[in-house]
Amino acid sequence: MKKSTIALALGTLGLGMSEFGMMGILPDIAQNMSISIPKAGYFISAYAIGVAIGAPLLVLIAGKLPLKRILLFLILLFIVGNLFFSLCTHYELNLFFRFISGLPHGAYFGVGSIVASKLAPPGKGTSAVSGMISGMTIANLIGVPLGTFVSHHFSWKITYFLISILGVLIFLSIRKFVPELKPLPYTGFKKQFYFLKNINPWLIILTTILGNGGIFCWYSYINPIMTQSVGFSEEAMTGVMMFAGLGMVIGNMASGKFSDQYSPQKVATATQGLAMVTLLLFFFFVNSHFISLSLMFICTGCLFAVSAPQQILLLHNSKGGEMLGSAMAQVSFNIGNALGAFLGGIPISQHYPYEYSALPGVILTGIGFLIFLYYTKFRSQVE
């Protein structure tokens, strides 16, 4: 793997730890700040809202600045947001700093994908982009469990302070190993949005929101679910989170292979349906350690198995606005994250057991499955 790709992958590693690290440490944050776990879940929503707002802003600056300079600016935002989040003790201010942390997320994926493909050898653009995204799966396999361990044994503030330090390493790596690239040809702000006049990208965006949101209804509260509902100890959660991360890695790899063999839309549709069934089964078999762990592995695999096909489909349906389309995929993922954390917290707030957070997820993934089935049957041929 080229050094430039490794530097870009470090960026997605950091973003993955910042985003997904919250799921493993919600009880620690809630206890430290003397708030409820659903209220701590709003930190997930604040990050996701930052992604949703920050990614479209990419269009405003991408045509005027060199791509490397944009990446460095985005990492500076990442450092500032996570550093102040780790130092602040005021709940409302911490929500604001989580919002700041989320601003660069979608934009980084949009610019980083273009940079990776531009620096790749001919015919290797997709592999380069996959290499960049691999940092996100490594974050869930190693980084997030490590952050959970540090938070549980020391403090959640140390976890996010270390993430901000990682941001400094990312900044230096991009500065050293990513060459200067000229700004993209600027065709005007409005033309970047023309692809949104078609119904196809909106169908993909909607199913992405619903699919991600459905899984995040449940995954946002994975720590209390696995400890208080299933019965794993806090000490076991580092291993549980690593197993969840392994599911994401395998799901991501499998979806890429099957998408090439069949089609992205068929893989995404099947994955949405599988996620719906898995969430429902998890609710009914929550008392079994083995079955719950197996279903968690499948469901986290679905989370990343559906991501790559949706990203590809959105790019295919964003002609003339590919950078915005790439960023919009991350916007959709994180709107789903915010929606899921909110809806999943409702039954918990009503004092139902934590596994009840899966039920709103069943509804969302079910609707997403039906919409994707419609797209696959009637719309994909007119991309």
Segments forming the whole domain that contains residue 174: 1-179
Q: Are 164 and 229 in a shared domain?
A: no
Burial of 87 per CB tally in 10 Å (0-12, 13-18, 19+):
middle
- Do residue 172 and residue 193 come from a single domain? no
Q: For residue 63, name the pLDDT band (cuts at 50, 70, 90).
A: low
Mean per-residue pLDDT, 53-63: 72
Tally of CB atoms within 10 A around 153: 12
Contact 178, 72 (CB under 8 A): no
What does the pLDDT look like over 147-204, one tens digit per residue? 888 998 899 999 999 999 999 999 999 999 989 887 766 666 677 778 888 888 999 9
Same-domain check for residues 64 and 157: yes
Do 31 and 107 fall into the same domain? yes
List, for residues 127-152, the tens digit of each pLDDT value. Answer: 677 678 778 888 888 888 888 889 98
> What is the CATH number for 253?
1.20.1250.20
Give the burial class of 351: count Cβ atoms within 10 A of its Cβ; 0-12 exposed, 13-18 middle, 19 or more buried: exposed
Based on the domain organization, do 79 and 195 belong to the same domain?
no
Domain count along the chain: 2
- CB distance 331 to 231 below 8 Å: no
Q: Of 144, 179, 214, which one is at a domain's C-terminal end?
A: 179
**pLDDT mean over 57-65:** 69
Q: Do 382 and 351 belong to one domain?
A: yes
- Judgement on whether residues 289 and 164 belong to the same structural domain of the protein: no
Q: Is 180 helix (H, G, I), strand (E, B) or coil?
A: coil
Q: What is the mean pLDDT of the chain?
A: 86
- Which of 148, 179, 210 terminates a domain? The answer is 179
Instruction: Identify which of 73, 76, 72, 96 has the alpha carbon closest to the alpha carbon of residue 85.
Output: 96
Rg of the chain in Å (alpha carbons): 19
**Sequence-ordered strand ranges (E) for 11-121:** none
Whether residue 197 sits in one domain with residue 48 = no
The shares of helix, strand and coil residues in the chain, as percent rounded to the nearest 5, are 85, 0, 15
**Last residue of one domain, picked from the residues 113, 145, 179:** 179
pLDDT tens, position by position, 107-123: 898 788 778 877 877 75
Q: Are residues 255 and 128 in the same domain?
A: no
